[in-house]
Amino acid sequence: MSEEAADQPARRILMLCTKFARCPQDRYLTNDLAHALRDAGAIVDVAVIDWTCASPQVELISMSDGIRALFVPPPAFASFGPVIAKVVKWLGAGFRLRRAIRRVFADQSYDLVLGFSPLVTTGIATSWAISRHRCRGYAYIVDFFPWHHHALGLLNRGSMIVGLVLETLFIRRFDVVACMSDAGVRYLKKHYFLRKRQKTPVLHLWGDPSPLPRKDRKKVRIAHAIPTTAKIALFGGQLAPGRGIEDILAVAGISIYAKPDLYFLFVGSGGLEALISNYIDKVGSNVIHIPAVSRDAYLQIAMSCDVGLISTVANSGVPTFPSKVIDYLRAGLPVIASVESSTDFGSYVEQAGFGKHVPAGDANRYFSAICEVVDSAIIRRDMCLSGYRALRDGFDVEAAAAAVLAEI
């Protein structure tokens, strides 16, 4: 913290989100930003709607880095019709979050309320906090709800329309609405009815650029039953709709005959695990699945691989900027991205020099791009070095924290 910052009173920030790791070894973007804000001299309280919480009790945890995190379980309601059930779930979560904040953080005042999309689940609490503390609001859009969910078939048209109305209302409560890329800002302005004076900056994703401790690559592979001499293409993250799991398996189906030394490793858990298991059972063993592991273990596995895969669905029309790229770059992996035409992520990957991109849905071109990189040690080395530069210069968490604090 600078001497100038030390002379100023500490800024207080209330962060509201739906993902925040309790364990320091399993950090999310929200953890990294909260930590950087604290390092910049701010006092940070976090309130989380924890959809994975098994306990019905609200839990306040004082983290080892001095951040207080309030974990609030979502409410349980009886069954309604499909549209009403969604609305009750979204707004009910916001009401429960507001009640918990009022009770646990009652003695606090805040200079900024920081929210993450989808805002519909925290919007009731966010709107109340901004009004209660008469402070500015900063929203970060990481997922264009409900457009993306509707494109993936996760919401019917009725739920999508209601979700869009609610999401727009909550977006309008913020003074600043930041997106991950220029394409995201354009999409935001076109698909949501913003207030004229709302600021819409680009705030790139962030991550920890510090070097990772390296272990013996062969030993890591042996420990996780990964072939020691094979070329490994890694997909890490949630195995859920919208991640292009089907496209990667299609590439694996081509590779099993055309390039038998290339294996596809999935590290993570989710609803599409059965899809991967079915491939392994029916097609072949060039696909490996490791359930979700700790962040440290995942990064060690990543460093033992040869390329990192990013895949999204074709024709969704919604721009994305996948956060898994941060871990790939930190692990020194070239990135092969199969992405929809509506996003500028693919062009960014190639302009930054740390990977290649192809159109989503084209398995043959995806396969060719992977082979071109895994078969050339020189290409991988150059992309690795470019990735480290991009991580340092374009994904700096301290710069993200400074941008947020500048809005107070």
Instruction: Give the CATH number for residue 32.
Output: 3.40.50.2000
**Looking at 203, 226, 249, which one is the last position of a domain?**
203
DSSP 8-state class, residue 121: G
Tell me how far apart the alpha carbons of residues 235 and 290 are, in angstroms, rounded to a whole number: 10
* Whether residue 199 sits in one domain with residue 148: yes
Q: What is the per-residue pLDDT for 333? A: 96
Please indicate, yes or no, whether residues 142 and 240 belong to a single structural domain of this protein: no
Residues 61 and 177 in one domain: yes
Q: Which of 20-24, 77-81, 397-401 has the highest mean pLDDT?
A: 397-401
Give residue 172's pLDDT band: very low, low, confident or very high (50, 70, 90): very high
**Is there a domain that residue 373 lies in?**
yes
Give the span between the Cα atoms of 43 and 32, in whole angstroms.
Answer: 14
Q: Is there a contact between 370 and 233 (Cβ–Cβ < 8 Å)?
A: yes
Structure tokens at 51: 């959809």
Contact between residue 287 and residue 260 where contact means Cβ atoms under 8 Å apart: no
Residue 98 lies in a domain: yes
| Residue 25, pLDDT score | 67
Q: What is the pLDDT of residue 91?
A: 86
**pLDDT score of 79 more than 70:** no
Distance CA 73, CA 60 (A): 12
Q: How would residue 320 be classed by pLDDT, with cut points 50, 70 and 90?
A: confident
Instruction: Quick: pLDDT tens for 234-291.
Output: 999 889 888 899 999 999 999 999 999 999 999 999 989 999 999 999 988 899 999 9
Of residues 386 and 323, more confidence is placed in: 386
Distances in Å between the alpha carbon of 401 and those of 36, 116, 364?
A: 6, 14, 41
Dist CA 72 CA 103 (whole Å):
12
Q: Mean pLDDT of all residues in the chain? A: 90
Find out whether 188 and 141 touch, Cβ atoms under 8 Å.
Answer: yes
Torsion region of 91: left, alpha or beta (phi above 0 gives left; psi -120 to 50 gives alpha): alpha
The rounded distance, in Å, linking the Cα atoms of 117 and 187 is 14
Tell me if 370 is assigned to some domain.
yes
Who wins on pLDDT, 291 or 158?
A: 291
* pLDDT, position 315: 75
How is residue 300 written in tokens? 């060690």
Residues in the chain, total: 408
Number of domains into which the chain is organized: 2
Taking the C-alpha atoms of residue 5 and residue 26, their distance in angstroms, rounded to an integer, is 30
**Mean pLDDT of the 332-361 span:** 92
Percent of residues, the chain, with pLDDT higher than 90: 68
Whether the Cβ atoms of residue 326 and residue 250 lie closer than 8 Å to each other: no
Give the torsion sign (CA, 320, 324, 328, 330). positive
Q: Higher confidence at residue 9 or residue 22? A: 22
Does residue 26 fall inside a structural domain?
A: yes
pLDDT of residue 318: 83
| Last-in-domain residue among 173, 203, 233 | 203
- Between CA 387 and CA 393 the distance in angstroms is 10
Read off the pLDDT band of 24 (50, 70, 90).
low
Enclosing domain of residue 261: 217-394
Give the Cα separation of 214 and 227 in Å (integer). Answer: 19
What single letter denotes the amino acid at residue 271?
G
Neighbours of 362 (CB within 10 A): 16
HSE-CB at 286 with a 13 A cutoff on CA atoms is 20
**What's residue 57's pLDDT?**
85
Tokens of 47: 């309130």
What number of other Cβ atoms are within 10 A of residue 277's Cβ?
Answer: 12
Name 290's bridge partners: 267
Least Cα distance to 220 among 331, 315, 319 occurs for 331
Q: Are residues 154 and 110 in the same domain?
A: yes
Question: Does one domain contain both 168 and 232?
Answer: no
Do residues 104 and 249 share a domain? no
Quick check: helix, strand or coil at residue 308? Answer: strand
Bridge pairing between strands 43-49 and 176-179: unpaired
What pLDDT is attached to residue 152? 78
Task: Check pLDDT > 80 for residue 383.
Answer: yes
d(CA 222, CA 385): 27
Q: Are residues 53 and 170 in the same domain?
A: yes
Q: Provide the percentage of residues in the chain whose pLDDT is more than 70.
A: 95
Whether the pLDDT of residue 27 is over 60: the answer is yes
- List phi, psi (to 5°) of 60: -105, 125
Residue 81 pLDDT greater than 70, yes or no: no
pLDDT, tens only, 93-104 = 899 999 999 999
Of residues 21, 15, 39, 395, the one with CA closest to residue 208: 395
Q: Is residue 235 part of a domain?
A: yes
Q: What is the mean pLDDT of residues 137-147?
A: 93
Instruction: Inform me whether the pLDDT recorded for 75 exceeds 80.
Output: no
Per the listing, tokens 């995201």 go with: 184
If asked whether residues 166 and 294 sit together in one domain, one would say: no
More confident position, 317 or 270: 270
144-148, 206-210, 248-252 — most confident range: 248-252
What pLDDT does 5 receive?
A: 47
Is 210 within a domain? no
221 and 198: one domain?
Answer: no
Picking from 85-89, 239-243, 302-306, which range would have the lowest pLDDT averaged per residue?
85-89
Least confident of 12-21, 42-51, 72-81: 72-81
For the whole model, what pTM was predicted? 0.86
Reported as type and span, the H/E element at residue 198 is none
Say yes or no to pLDDT of 335 above 60: yes
Question: Residues 274, 188: one domain?
Answer: no
Listed residue (183, 162, 205, 192) closest to 318, CA to CA: 183
Question: Is residue 279 one of the residues assigned to a domain?
Answer: yes
Q: Is residue 406 part of a domain?
A: no
- Tell whether the model's pLDDT for residue 54 goes beyond 70: no
Do 186 and 272 share a domain, yes or no? no
Residues 68 and 163 in one domain: yes
Q: 168, 203, 238: which is the final residue of a domain? A: 203
